[in-house]
Amino acid sequence: MPTIIGISGSLRKGSFNSALLRAAADLAPPELSITIASIADVPLYDADLEAESGIPEAVAALKEQIAAAQGLLLVTPEYNQSLPGVFKNAVDWLSRPAKDIPRVFGGKPVGVIGATPGPGGTRLAQTAWLPVFRALGLSPWFGKQLYVAVAGNVFDAQGSLVDAKVSGLLAAYLAGLSDVVKDATAR
Ligand SMILES: Cc1cc2nc3c(=O)[nH]c(=O)nc-3n(C[C@H](O)[C@H](O)[C@H](O)COP(=O)(O)O)c2cc1C
């Protein structure tokens, strides 16, 4: 069964984006497995650290997880009308050394979704990821879009997805992503 790696760009315990990722793993169609990976142990990128000690263990492990998977799902918060630095920092580390980019990311389908307590649903953050996808040679999937706005009404206090409309949209998004991952894997 194709597996995709799902990553939330928030470190917050009560994160809406991590809650959305957990809901995605639950609502994925039976023919797609979503493995939740974490960026919590990724240090700040420092070229001196890389030169002296190489790729940190947490980064190397995540790179191999992505390399072995058939696709990616980024679940992005929106900070200052763009993507969060914490999330970008993790992806910057994952892109090192640059010679590994084709092996780790090259041609993989990637989906991006996100949640915010505000009204915009992470539209700007999702768009801000596009140049990064191009730099990594990823294959972004635009067949459906999922912008979760006013997230405080969509998840309960335990982080469970309680909005039937968003559940339906998420399931449809994942069904579409599953189809492209399946197609890409068959090629
Ligand atoms: C520095 C900062 C900037 C933010 N900027 C935006 C923004 O531009 N648009 C938005 O919808 N929410 C913005 N927010 C609110 C976040 O969407 C909110 O904190 C959200 O809960 C973060 O995602 P999480 O719940 O997964 O941690 C910002 C929050 C912070 C801390």
Mutation test residue for ligand 1: of 16, 20, 78, 147, the one with most atoms within 8 Å of CB = 78
Q: What are the tens digits of pLDDT across the range 3-46? A: 999 999 999 999 999 999 999 999 999 999 999 999 999 999 99
Asked if 106 contacts 66 with a C-beta cutoff of 8 angstroms, the reply is no
The yes-or-no verdict on residue 54 having pLDDT over 90 is yes
Q: What are the tens digits of pLDDT across the range 136-185? A: 999 999 999 999 999 999 999 999 999 999 999 999 999 999 999 998 88
| pLDDT for position 186 | 84
| Partner residues linked to 33 by β-bridges | 3
Q: Is 12 in the pocket of ligand 1 (CB under 6 A)?
A: yes
C-alpha 155 – ligand 1 centre gap (Å): 16
| pLDDT for position 187 | 75
**Does the predicted TM-score (pTM) go above 0.85?**
yes
C-alpha 186 – ligand 1 centre gap (Å): 38
Q: Is 17 in the pocket of ligand 1 (CB under 6 A)?
A: yes
Q: Is 105 in the pocket of ligand 1 (CB under 6 A)?
A: no
User: Which atom, in ligand 1's list, is nearest to the CA of 82?
Assistant: 8
Name residues whose C-beta falls within 8 Å of residue 54's C-beta, 6 or more positions apart in sequence. Answer: none
